[in-house]
Chains A and B, each alone.
Chain A
Amino acid sequence: EPEVTQTPSHQVTQMGQEVILRCVPISNHLYFYWYRQILGQKVEFLVSFYNNEISEKSEIFDDQFSVERPDGSNFTLKIRSTKLEDSAMYFCASSFYRLGEAFFGQGTRLTVV
């Protein structure tokens, strides 16, 4: 069964460093998303991406964040200068239809020290 894959599963980084989280969405999907979940809190929407541009972003997704689809298969989330409060699980998701079912990856646990 097709699945969304994320790498790495766990990343530890120093405060102020840049990190890139990687995702391979399901191959024929058209809509791509990033969500995050701080430990013990709700899953929060960050950004959606369609047709090579951001279609929607939340207030969390400030100038420190960027997304890119550098080729036909990868979808990345970059955090330019990490803060302690960026520590969270980051989930990538994809869907074929805009309002259809979304499929999530297993997440990358980002720890900023």
Chain B
Amino acid sequence: DAKTTQPNSMESNEEEPVHLPCNHSTISGTDYIHWYRQLPSQGPEYVIHGLTSNVNNRMASLAIAEDRKSSTLILHRATLRDAAVYYCILRGQETSGSRLTFGEGTQLTVNP
């Protein structure tokens, strides 16, 4: 499986933007970059995904580097409810098949 590297933990203050980085230097041309999060005692929750272009949805934005070797998940205004583990996962025909391979992720703490 193509690997991703994320910081173990990050902290933010409520109502401030949060930028969660992910490195994926071995990404292949057909890999999608997926982000999921897991709130305490809940199942993983889809956040956003993209291939080459930056993406926005109601939850977050995904900024993808031009060479696709890194990406950043952007939460525009963090809330206490955004405290979770965030996972950056590559998903592609050759890389992962149909599975999502969860790593350790980034534990995001949001301070009031």
Contacts and interface: CB of A to CB of B under 8 A. Distances in A.
Contacts of B32: 99
B97 interface: yes
A32 B106 CA distance: 26
B92 A101 contact: no
Most chain B Cβ neighbours within 10 Å, of A99, A101, A103: A99
Chain A binding surface, main DSSP class: strand
Contact of A42 (B46, B97, B104): B104
Contacts of B26: none
B98 A48 contact: yes
Contacts of B98: 31, 33, 48, 50, 55-56, 98-99
Interface residues of B, number: 20
Chain B binding surface, main DSSP class: loop
A23 B45 CA distance: 16
A112 B42 CA distance: 20
B5 interface: no
A52 interface: no
A84 interface: no
Contact of B46 (A89, A91, A101, A105): A101
Nearest to B42: A106
A58 interface: yes
Contacts of A99: 32, 91-93, 98
Contacts of A50: 98
A27 B62 CA distance: 28
Interface string A16-43: 0000000000000001010100000011
14 contacts: A31-B98, A33-B99, A35-B44, A44-B102, A48-B97, A48-B99, A56-B98, A99-B93, A99-B98, A100-B49, A101-B34, A103-B46, A104-B46, A107-B42
Interface of B: 32, 34, 38, 42-46, 49, 91-93, 97-104
Interface of A: 31, 33, 35, 42-45, 48, 50, 55-56, 58, 89, 91, 93, 98-107
